[in-house]
Amino acid sequence: MAGIEEVSEALQKGKAKVVKELVQELVDDGVDAKKILNEGLLFGMSVIGEKFKNNEVFVPEVLVAARAMNAGLAILEPKLAEIGNVSVGKAVIGTVKGDLHDIGKNLVSMMLKGAGFEVVDLGVDVGAEQFVERAEEVGADIICMSALLTTTMSNMKSTIDLLNEKGKRNKYIVMVGGAPVNDNFAKQIGADYYAADAATAATVAKQAIAQ
C-alpha cells in the first residue's frame, strides 16, 4: 500500500500522474480523505511554499507542484464533497482579478459542495463585473472571493463597490479569504464574512444562510 508521504514527495517533484495514482490507491485502501489532503497534498505544497519563499525553487517548479496538487484534489473531491440532495444555497466563487492562484479556492469550493451548496466556480482572474453578473444570472445567495496576493486583495473591494453602485449589496452575502486576507481587512472593505480556511468557510457560509 502507498504511504501518504509518497504523495507529498511526488507532489513536490510535480509528478501529477503519480500523485493521482497514489491518491487513488490510498482512497481505494480506505484511508481517510482528509488525512490524505492534510498529510499528503497540503503538507507537500507547504514544503514547496517554504522553498519558494527561500528561493530554493522557482515558479516552474511551483506550477508543476500545483498541477499535481489539483490532480490529487480531483480524486479526493467526491469523498470530500458528498453532495446532499437538498441545496442549502447557491454560491459563486472565484479568485479575484489579476490573481491566478486557485488551489485554496478549489478547496473552498469543494467544502461548500460538501456542506450542501450549489457552487458556480468562475475560475481565476475574475473581475468585479463578472462576479456580479454571474451572481445575478444564477441567483446566488453568496459571493465568495479568494486572493493570494497582497497586490490583488484590493480587487475584492471593487466587487463590493460595484454591488453598492448597482444597489444590490444587500442582496448577497459576501465572504472573502486567502492567505493575505484577515478579519480586519474584510471589515475594512465591507465584506460580511472572512474565513481563514476552507472548512471554516463552509461552516460560516452555512451559518450565514441560516441567519
- The residue (of 167 and 181) whose beta carbon lies closer to ligand B1M is 181
Q: Give the nearer residue to ligand B1M in terms of CB position, either 28 or 152.
A: 152
Other Cβ atoms less than 10 A from the Cβ of 61: the count is 16
Q: Verify binding: residue 121, ligand B1M, rule CB under 6 A.
A: no
Give the span between the Cα atoms of 4 and 38, in whole angstroms.
10
Binding-site residue total for ligand B1M (CB under 6 A)? 36
CA dist., res. 171 & res. 145, Å (int): 16
Q: Are 131 and 93 in contact (CB under 8 A)?
A: no
Residues 6+ apart with CB under 8 A from 195: 108, 175, 177, 201, 203, 204, 205
**146 near ligand B1M, rule: CB under 6 A:** yes
Binding of ligand B1M by 148 (CB under 6 A): yes
Q: Which stretch binds ligand B1M (CB under 6 A): 73-81, 131-139, 149-157, 161-169?
A: 149-157
**Residue 46 CB neighbours (<10 A):** 11
Q: Which 3 state secondary structure label does DSSP give 19?
A: helix
The CB-of-133 to ligand B1M minimum distance in angstroms stands at 18
The CA distance from 205 to 142, in Å, is 8
The dihedral through the CA atoms of 211, 186, 158, 114 has a sign that is negative
Contact status: 76 vs ligand B1M (CB under 6 A): no
Among 7, 76, 108, 189, binds ligand B1M (CB under 6 A): 108
189 contacts ligand B1M (rule: CB under 6 A): no
Q: What is the CA radius of gyration of the chain?
A: 17
Q: Smallest Cα–Cα separation from 202: which of 130, 120, 144?
A: 144
Answer yes or no whether residue 52 interacts with ligand B1M by CB under 6 A.
Answer: yes
Q: Measured from the CB atom, is 51 or 171 closer to ligand B1M?
A: 51
Site for ligand B1M in 166-185 (CB under 6 A): 175-180
Should residue 94 be labelled a site residue for ligand B1M when binding is judged by CB under 6 A? no
Residue 208 in the binding site for ligand B1M (CB under 6 A): no
User: Using the rule CB under 6 A, which residue among 102, 113, 135, 157 binds ligand B1M?
Assistant: 102
Binding positions for ligand B1M, rule: CB under 6 A: 45, 48-49, 52-53, 59, 62-63, 66, 98-105, 107-108, 144-146, 148-151, 175-180, 195, 197-198, 201
